[in-house]
């Protein structure tokens, strides 16, 4: 698994490299110290996972992540920060990051990278505990006006409840391929990037 590390503190970046490469399955192909370097190093190395800080001088990790995902929607970005800031969490989710964990949880960094590489979205326990607050109810959203059918809404509910495509397929007596197509259509209609954004969107607009 090829990883690029971005942190504005060079010593932190080196320390993270040492921690990650203690696992033989991880190869840190490059390190950088700014948002602009993150973009350059991602383009050059096309890593499996980009492990990036948020607060950096000049271009922030969030700004860099947004530009990277505009170029490559499949980029897997995992934010590693000391700041549990609500605005940062919401922005990271909205732009399509695959995870947001705190540096203090150093033992969870390698498992988080592996999970993101495997296609999962990862948020530290402290972040998960904040999500109910971030997902405060708003005025009811009119799904119908956005072309969402009853079947699609049923699938949205299932995604929000944590069901996998296979479980949804079994529940609705449809194939997994059909469920994937439904979800892709829903994401396009609602201008969302992934299942995590869809689940949060559902709860915030329930």
Query: How many structural domains are present in the chain?
Result: 2
Q: With respect to residue 168, please indicate whether it lies within any of the assigned structural domains.
A: yes
pLDDT at 107: 83
Q: Does residue 6 sit in the same domain as residue 33?
A: yes
Q: What is the residue range of 126's domain? A: 2-134
Q: Does residue 112 sit in the same domain as residue 188?
A: no
Q: Does residue 31 sit in the same domain as residue 63?
A: yes
pLDDT at 138: 54
CATH code at 170? 1.10.10.10
Query: CA-to-CA distance for 153 and 134, rounded, in angstroms?
Result: 22
Q: Does residue 113 sit in the same domain as residue 164?
A: no
Q: Give 40-58 pLDDT, tens digit per residue.
A: 999 999 999 999 999 888 8
Q: With respect to residue 139, please indicate whether it lies within any of the assigned structural domains.
A: no
pLDDT band at residue 200 using 50, 70 and 90 as cut-offs: confident
Q: With respect to residue 45, please indicate whether it lies within any of the assigned structural domains.
A: yes
pLDDT at 28: 96
Q: Give 132-183 pLDDT, tens digit per residue.
A: 666 555 556 788 889 999 999 999 999 888 888 999 999 899 999 999 999 9
Query: CA-to-CA distance for 136 and 110, rounded, in angstroms?
Result: 32
Q: Give 65-123 pLDDT, tens digit per residue.
A: 999 999 998 999 999 888 777 778 878 887 889 988 888 777 889 999 999 999 888 87
């Amino acid at each position: 698994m090829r990883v690029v590390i971005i942190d504005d503190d060079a010593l932190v970046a080196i320390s993270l490299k040492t921690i990650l490469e203690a696992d033989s399955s991880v190869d840190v192909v490059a390190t950088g110290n700014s948002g602009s370097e993150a973009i350059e190093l991602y383009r050059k190395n096309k890593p499996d996972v980009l492990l990036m800080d948020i607060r950096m001088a000049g271009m922030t990790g969030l700004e860099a992540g947004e530009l990277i995902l505009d170029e490559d929607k499949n980029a897997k970005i995992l934010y590693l920060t000391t700041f549990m800031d609500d605005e940062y969490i919401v922005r990271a989710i909205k732009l399509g990051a695959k995870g947001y964990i705190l540096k203090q949880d150093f033992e969870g960094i390698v498992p988080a990278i592996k999970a993101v590489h495997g296609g999962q979205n990862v948020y530290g326990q402290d972040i998960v505990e904040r999500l109910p607050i971030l997902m405060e109810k708003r005025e009811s959203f009119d799904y119908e006006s956005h072309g969402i059918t009853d079947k699609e809404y049923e699938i949205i509910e299932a995604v929000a409840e944590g069901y996998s495509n296979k479980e949804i397929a079994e529940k609705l007596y449809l194939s997994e391929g059909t469920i994937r197509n439904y979800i892709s259509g829903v994401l396009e209609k609602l201008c969302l990037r992934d299942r995590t954004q869809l689940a949060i969107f559902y709860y915030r607009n329930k």
